[in-house]
Amino acid sequence: MYINRVNTKILPVEFKYFAPKTVSEAASILNRYGEEVRILAGGTDLLVKVKQRLIEPKYILNVKGIEELRFIEDRSGEIGVGAATKLSELVGSEIIKEKLPVLHEAAEAVGSVQIRNMGTIGGNLCNASPASDLAPPLLVLNTSVKAYSSSGERVIPLEKFFLGPGETVLKPDELLVEIKIPCPPEGTGMSFLKVARTSMDLAKANVAVAIKLDGNTVKLCRIAMGSVAPTPIRLFQTEKILLGSEFTDGKIERAVQTASEEIKPITDIRSTAEYRREVSKVLVRRALKKAYERVKEGEING
């Protein structure tokens, strides 16, 4: 194999390049070359890995030119987003801002203007980083994703999508085509928070919360975190503490404690496991309170 040790402006791996214009063409290329192909969207995760030779694809399939993978659609009760939609398009979308503000906030928290202009929602999910900023809000929104291959399509709940760092349930011949996001019920308050070394960096920990109240009783409660387990996760135990009970400081503290026990953080270059447990308490507490404030603001405004 050709290895370029001198000029890192050329990738150290040789591959054949495909840039199909349609999903069905892409599927047939995936079908033919299976595990030897890598899908390229924005390249902000993939090309960094190829540079380090962590991945050595024989074929690269660029999906950015497939127009049918780039859309944001407001259907009744559901927002559909094409997998190759850029993060900057999510941030700029009035539909997302209005109907899924928590996703808007999270997309805005990713990297820099340049990274958001290159990176896509599909790439963010398929990269399956435990630190993905889009995964926690999409998890609390009960998102599912649609995969397409020559043998057909299937819809997978996002909760079942991630297997471990860098691993998803997608088969080598499957292309992620769409992210299907149900609109939360009227009156739901949501929030997203992230701690990182700098605002450019991946999260040391992040959290998304969605709650809905009846009076002061919690009727809906979904909490998801990133960077605190091998995959982005829902905190079901923590949710149970709050669900069906009064939203009080005492309950919040019990939930916060449960969250710090429910997560499974590790020590890596970004943080220690101990720090992640501590900061998760702060994040969950603040995110719950912020979501609650938004419920109340919603009641006042209308």
Partner 1 sequence: MGEIIEFTVNGLKRRIEVEPNELLINVIRGKLGLTGTKYGCGIGECGSCTVLIDGEPALSCLTLAIEVDGREIVTIEGIAENELNHIQEAFLDQGAVQCGFCTPGMIIMAKYLLNKKRNPTEKEIKEHIKGNLCRCTGYINIIKAIKEAAEKMQNSNVKAISKEL
Ligand X SMILES: Cc1cc2nc3c(=O)[nH]c(=O)nc-3n(C[C@H](O)[C@H](O)[C@H](O)COP(=O)(O)OP(=O)(O)OC[C@H]3O[C@@H](n4cnc5c(N)ncnc54)[C@H](O)[C@@H]3O)c2cc1C
Cα dihedral: 62, 63, 64, 65 (round 10): 90
Q: Which is nearer to ligand X, 126 or 291 (CB)?
A: 126
The answer to whether 132 contacts ligand X (rule: CB under 6 A) is yes
Q: How far is the CB of 293 from ligand X (least distance, A)?
A: 25
Q: How far is the CB of 7 from ligand X (least distance, A)?
A: 20
CB 30 within 8 A of CB 66: no
CB 285 within 8 A of CB 225: no
The answer to whether 90 contacts ligand X (rule: CB under 6 A) is no
63 interface partner picked from partner 1, ligand X, none, CB below 5 to 8 A per type: ligand X
Cβ-Cβ contacts under 8 Å for 83 (sequence gap 6 or more): 41, 63, 69, 120, 121, 122, 145, 175, 176, 177, 178, 179
Only one residue has tokens 């938004």, namely: 294
Which stretch in 14-22, 66-74, 76-84, 206-214 sits in contact with partner 1 by CB under 8 A? 14-22
CB 206 within 8 A of CB 192: yes
38 interface partner picked from ligand X, partner 1, none, CB below 5 to 8 A per type: ligand X
Which stretch in 94-102, 124-132, 238-246, 256-264 sits in contact with ligand X by CB under 6 A? 124-132
Q: In this chain, which of 85, 88, 144, 188 binds partner 1, going by CB under 8 A?
A: 88
C-alpha pair distances (Å), 66 with each of 26, 62, 81, 138, 139 = 9, 9, 14, 23, 26
Q: How far is the CB of 155 from ligand X (least distance, A)?
A: 14
One-letter amino acid identity for 136?
P
Q: Which is nearer to ligand X, 175 or 284 (CB)?
A: 175
CB 175 within 8 A of CB 26: yes
| Residues engaged in binding partner 1 (CB under 8 A) | 7-17, 19, 40, 43-44, 47-48, 51, 60, 62, 64, 88, 111-115, 117-118, 199-200
